[in-house]
Structure 1
Amino acid sequence: MSCHPTRRRVVIRLACSGAALAALPAAHAQAAHVDEDSETAVALGYRHDTQKVDVKKFPTHQASQHCANCGFWQGAATDAWGGCSMFGRKQVANGGWCAAWRKP
């Protein structure tokens, strides 16, 4: 038995390595969602649903404003959840809102 890898073994190992690397973006897409009770979310008045924002505390809020039409949104307009510069690696809801909302 030879200790030298055959071409077949090398190809199989490369294919397995490629499959493992291809799975990495999918794992990243499963990032945790922002907890509305977290310190940052409370400070920014973040809600998963823009209709549930306390307008007395945040009078600048408008019902037409939501995370997917904010300048900080880091996803496609059709994504249910996406990244946000305000919340680091956590994801916010497409229809959510916080006081950092800004026009794109």
Structure 2
Amino acid sequence: MQPTRRIFMLQATMATLAVPALAQTSPVDEASETAVALGYKHDTTKVDTVKFPKHQASQHCANCQFWQAKPTDAWSNCAMFGRKAQVAKNGWCNAWVKMAG
């Protein structure tokens, strides 16, 4: 059975939509507006604890419920920053929420 034009077009469209998902992302810029508002730092030990008193040394991105990779991965997408940038495993921001489980 030969693929029809409709099937070909559907497959081509799906392939095109998949390309952005495969695109590389870069680390969050700590100076970006969102990062500053959330107090994000790539290193949890660099967080301003006066400005963010809820911060604890044991809190980091890889044990936050917004972390979207394996806990052992060095970088991950984060629900707070969308798909454009990644956060560091040992990073932290004020949106940190303990991972369930």
1:74-85 equivalent positions in 2, closer than 5 A: 74-85=68-79
Percent identical: 68
Is there any run of 5+ residues in structure 1 with no aligned partner, and where? 1-19
TM-score norm. by structure 1 comes to 0.73
Three-state SS of the structure 1 residue aligned to 2:87 is strand
- Residue type matched to 1:54 in 2? D
Larger radius of gyration: 1
Higher percent of residues as strand: 2
Size of the alignment, in residue pairs? 83
TM-score norm. by structure 2 comes to 0.75
Asked if residue 97 in structure 1 is aligned to residue 92 in structure 2, the reply is yes
Is there any run of 5+ residues in structure 2 with no aligned partner, and where? 1-14
- CA RMSD in angstroms comes to 2.0
Three-state SS of the structure 2 residue aligned to 1:51 is helix
Asked if residue 48 in structure 1 is aligned to residue 42 in structure 2, the reply is yes
1:6-21 equivalent positions in 2, closer than 5 A: none
